[in-house]
Amino acid sequence: MNFELNEEQQQIKYSVREFAESEIRPHVMDWDESQHFPDELRPKLAELGLMGVLFPEEYGGAGMGYVEYATIIEELGRVDGSVALSVAAHNSLCSNHIYSFGTEEQKQRYLVPLAQGESFGAWGLTEPQAGSDASGTRTTAVRSNGGWKVNGAKNFITHAIACNTLVAMAVTDKTQGSRGISAFIFDKSMEGFRSDKKENKLGMRASETASVVFEDCYVADENRLGPEGEGFLQAMQVLDGGRISIAALSVGIAQGAYEAALKYSKERQQFGKPIAEFQAIQFKLADMGTQIEAARLLTLQAAAMKDAGKKTTRQSAMAKLFASETAVRVSEESVQIHGGYGYTKDYPAEKYWRDSKLCTIGEGTSEVQRLVIAKQLLKA
Ligand SMILES: Cc1cc2nc3c(=O)[nH]c(=O)nc-3n(C[C@H](O)[C@H](O)[C@H](O)COP(=O)(O)OP(=O)(O)OC[C@H]3O[C@@H](n4cnc5c(N)ncnc54)[C@H](O)[C@@H]3O)c2cc1C
């Protein structure tokens, strides 16, 4: 068993860290305050292969695996959760759905520009009345003129406004429950498909989250992803991969918050010495460091299993659950170690804390992860 990244993986980690420090760190608070979605990063992300991390070169991707992917998302999350979330949603949700279930033609038409960063991807499962219970999807697709007429809405969609391509789930047969849901690829230029309200969020404020609306939107049958009725099952498989990226994002946020706390604890003096010399602060740092290591190991285990072609439903959910709750705990302790200054925007601790909370909600809440894990454990 080898717990070290190999030389190539370390090189990837180093170059993403350098990129995040130089191109993202200086702007983090401005983007957060103004909720600016930094689409201007896209060419640079593409140059580094970060718009198509998981896809083979023949589809315009970087041909990397999940261990590299988790490492990349962690490094971005260490500096800015929003950019990491954006890269994760683009890669493991929209693009990966097309890569995993699309035809060769769909891959050439949609995946190649996504992987090369020429287009931005979004993925629509959640609806106002169907969140944790995604099988309760109400958006409908009804056969019409050799294609489908789609009506309904999706909310909380990452890149709903900036995207060119959206993969979304819609009910094609009401009588079949979750087996009556199919997946479709939408193009922003399609008539009857538009984005709507942008959310004003607690954290992840530089990641764009908005609704999409379908009003008699005609989509050709050639844009259906896989067989009719398999959209929900496909979405669950896509989430097995996606949850590894949210776990990695959580590890990155926790790492960033911990580093900020460590630095501050050595600088801040009270009672005539640095607060790092108080055992109460040392114990906090020890717990933070230990929990981060554990979260990283769970994440890399799920990633390595995915690279080995194994089913990771349980490991992905465990990594996502543990890492996201670690991110919230560690970033809260980081605020505590910063004292009153941690409560201000002059220090990065409060932003890590705000950003971390998304990780226990997006791609399935902590409660849903526990349901998934328990189901897998009881099945064994
Ligand atoms: C910033 C952001 C970005 C997002 N991006 C996307 C995206 O790109 N695409 C997309 O499709 N979705 C996206 N989402 C949606 C996200 O996946 C959902 O918010 C999440 O799945 C929870 O659904 P909900 O908000 O409707 O909460 P609800 O399902 O209403 O849950 C409310 C509470 O009830 C609990 N609960 C629900 N059912 C159960 C149960 N059976 N047992 C125990 N507890 C339960 C939940 O855990 C939660 O605590 C995003 C959300 C956010 C905030």
pLDDT tens per residue, range 248-304: 999 999 999 999 999 999 999 999 999 999 999 999 999 999 999 999 999 999 999
Comparing CA positions, the residue from 350, 345, 321, 320 lying closest to residue 257 is: 350
In this structure, the residue with its CA closest to atom 4 of ligand 1 is: 156
Q: Has residue 83 got a pLDDT over 90?
A: yes
Backbone dihedral region for residue 81 (phi beyond 0: left; psi -120 to 50: alpha; all else: beta): alpha
Distance CA 116, CA 287 (A): 41
Ligand 1 atom at minimum distance from 93 CA: 8
pLDDT digits (tens, 9 = 90+) for 240-251: 999 999 999 999
pLDDT number for residue 1: 83
Nearest to 66 by CA among 263, 226, 246: 246
Rounded to the nearest 10°, the torsion over CA 279, 280, 282, 285 is 170
- Tell me, what's the pLDDT at 212? 97
184/172 Cα distance (integer angstroms): 11
User: Tens digits of per-residue pLDDT, 228-238?
Assistant: 999 999 999 99
Residues 255 and 20: their CA atoms lie apart, in Å, by 14
Cα dihedral 316, 318, 322, 324 in deg (nearest 10): 40
- What integer pLDDT is reported at residue 8 of this predicted model? 97
* Residue 360 CA, ligand 1 centroid: distance in Å: 9
Q: What is the mean pLDDT of the chain?
A: 98
Contact of 358 with 364, CB cutoff 8 Å: no
| pLDDT digits 0-9 by tens, 145-175 | 999 999 999 999 999 999 999 999 999 999 9
At 28, is the pLDDT very low, low, confident or very high (cuts 50, 70, 90)?
A: very high
Rounded to the nearest angstrom, the distance between the alpha carbon of 361 and the centre of ligand 1 is: 6
pTM above 0.85, yes or no: yes
pLDDT per residue as tens digits for the range 111-127: 999 999 999 999 999 99
Q: Exposure string (b/e) for 154-169, b if CB count within 10 Å is 16 or more?
A: bbbbbbbbbbbbbbbb
pLDDT range class, residue 102, cuts 50, 70, 90: very high
What's the whole-number mean pLDDT along residues 134-152?
97
What is the pLDDT confidence band of residue 380, given thresholds at 50, 70 and 90? confident
Going from the C-alpha of 292 to that of each of 72, 99, 288, 337, 355, the distances in angstroms are 16, 31, 6, 17, 16
The token pair that represents 9 in the structure block: 């993986």
CB 184, CB 223: distance < 8 Å: yes
> Looking at the DSSP assignment, which residues form a beta bridge with residue 170?
182
Q: What is the mean pLDDT of residues 30-44?
A: 97
Given the CA of residue 207, which atom of ligand 1 is nearest to it? 1
pLDDT higher than 90, residue 306: yes
- Who lines ligand 1 at CB under 6 A? 89, 123-126, 131-132, 156-158, 204, 209, 358, 361-365, 367-368
- Of 320, 291, 331, the closest CA to residue 202 belongs to 331
- Output the pLDDT for position 95: 98
Look at residues 130, 169, 123, 34 and name the one whose alpha carbon lies nearest to residue 368: 130
Ligand 1, residue 371: give the atom nearest the CA: 42
Work out the average pLDDT over 349-358: 98
